[in-house]
Amino acid sequence: MKCTTPARRNEERYPGFGYPAYLLRRFHEAAGLFTILLQNDHIIHYEPGEPERFRSWLHQSGVAIVE
């Protein structure tokens, strides 16, 4: 019998941001405003107090960037 471990969802949340990383598909940033495509195809906008820190969290969470 083959035993496999299911993929783990990244439940981590950025402080003050209402979505866990696993719900985010990709993002674009312009002048500190983030436009984010969710897994359910909804688009949200978020303006964090520290854009560099939020961008770093997105990258570390594996969220794709739209260039």
**Per-residue pLDDT, 8:** 54
Confidence of residue 67 (pLDDT cuts 50, 70, 90): confident
Model pLDDT, residue 4 = 47
DSSP code of residue 34: E
C-alpha pair distances (Å), 60 with each of 2, 14, 18, 34, 57: 31, 11, 17, 16, 5
Whether the per-residue pLDDT at 63 is higher than 80: the answer is: yes
Tokens 């981590």 — which residue? 12
Residues 6+ apart with CB under 8 A from 17: 46, 48, 54
pLDDT in tens, 5-56: 444 567 889 999 999 999 999 999 999 999 999 999 999 999 999 999 999 9
